[in-house]
Amino acid sequence: MRFLILLASLIGLALPVRAQLPQPPEIAARQYVLVDLTSQRVLAERDADAQADPASLTKLMTAYLAFNAIRDGKLALQQEVPVSMRAWDERKGGGSLMFIDTTMRPRVEELLKGVIVQSGNDASVALAQAVGGTLDHFVDMMNRQAQAWGLKNTQFRNVTGLTEAGHHSSARDVATMAAKIIAEHPQFYALYSTRQYTYNRIRQDNRNLLLGRDASVDGMKTGYTAAAGYCLVASAQREVPSGQRRLLSVVMGTASAEARAAESQKLLNWGFSAWDALRLYDAGAAVAKVPVWKGAAKEVRLGTTEAIVVTLPKGEGGKLQTTIERTDPLVAPLTAGQRVGTLKVATASGAPVAEIPLTVLEPVALAGIFGRAWDAIRLWIK
């Protein structure tokens, strides 16, 4: 018996010990997700793919498509927009309003603030009609964009987020919408930090309570319906030793406006305190230099066009293991941006941290006929 106990102990010692991941705090929400946007790592989640009523978080997509239209020159910030009866009729729906009417011609810039700060359903309808011509066409645009992003749990039926059969999203899909705005439209993302907005002498406060509580929170969007409960997307950026780090939290189905702020704050604080961000390589830096066959150059640099940052449990940064898996042999011609490998990062115990695609940083043309012939012989021998 003693021998068996000793043997079991020795076997246990021989097995690799997996590092325990930090456990998130208890979050009083039906669904949530916390994403480190700097490293694109999900730090915590619960039922993040469950279909749910997104309420006014819908307006993230409404605004995104308007931002695209402005970027593409199809809409101008100073352009005046007529207010249709359909937009004015939103006053009957019981949701948030910018308080526009058919005698007004608000500018696109004003409607954006009405959507983002005041969460106005009337502003959302007017803006959608300005971009898509009709609401039906704009909703089709929303669904096509969701499909293009691979949002498997999202389907739109309206531009406002009012409860409607077949209108649903998920915490993960909402996080994707928010991340796209931050990454692709940083100049417009700044609107989400606006604390209050006055239109037609009616002042309304931004309902994101974290804007006044946490200086690192600089957006994004609230939502509420009876079916959805209280929802909040919150984005925070803080300075850390490796540079600036941004976290994005989505909580859906909380009990009150205060609860959605408190639960989001818990997630963000935990994400910053329990996890470290480590910059491994700067943008454009060579992760590896590898031989090239039949090329005008004998080797090529592999890396990424963006900085490589990984998120890992606090204290694990000095114990990382990195390995590179790549195409071998690497034969010219090669184009810049061509993926030819993967950088795998793991903790000292072998727990995977990240897998980063490696691409060719500079193009490599074909060598001359004699260079190609010589390398062909060498490859045959190899």
124 is catalytic: no
Residues 374 and 382: their CA atoms lie apart, in Å, by 12
Answer whether the bond into residue 25 is a cis peptide, omega within 30°: no
Nearby residues of 227 by Cβ (< 8 Å), 6 or more positions away: 53, 55, 163
Q: Dig out the tokens for 68 from the structure.
A: 């695209």
Two structure tokens written together for 379: 């490859």
Active-site residue, selected from the candidate residues 39, 119, 249, 264 = 119
Please tell me the distance from the alpha carbon of residue 39 to that of residue 48, in angstroms, as a whole number. 19
* Whether the Cβ atoms of residue 207 and residue 195 lie closer than 8 Å to each other: no
Closest residue by Cα to residue 155 from 61, 66, 67, 230? 61
Q: Which amino acid is at 157?
A: R
* Active site annotation includes 294: no
For 6, the token pair is: 């000793």
Candidate list 39, 56, 170, 249, residue with the active-site label: 56
86 strand-pairing partners? none
Phi/psi of residue 60, nearest 5 degrees: -60, -45
**Looking at the chain, which runs of residues are DSSP E strands?**
31-36, 41-46, 196-199, 202-205, 217-225, 229-240, 243-254, 275-281, 286-291, 299-303, 308-313, 321-326, 339-346, 352-360
Question: How far is C-alpha 368 from the chain's CA centre?
Answer: 45
Give how far Cα 198 sits from Cα of 80, 194, 204, 365, Å.
Answer: 18, 11, 6, 59
Is 169 labeled as catalytic in the residue annotation?
no
Structural contact between residues 143 and 156, judged by C-beta atoms closer than 8 angstroms:
yes
φ and ψ of 323, to 5 deg: -135, 150
CA distance 297 to 304: 20
Point out the residues that are catalytic.
56, 59, 119
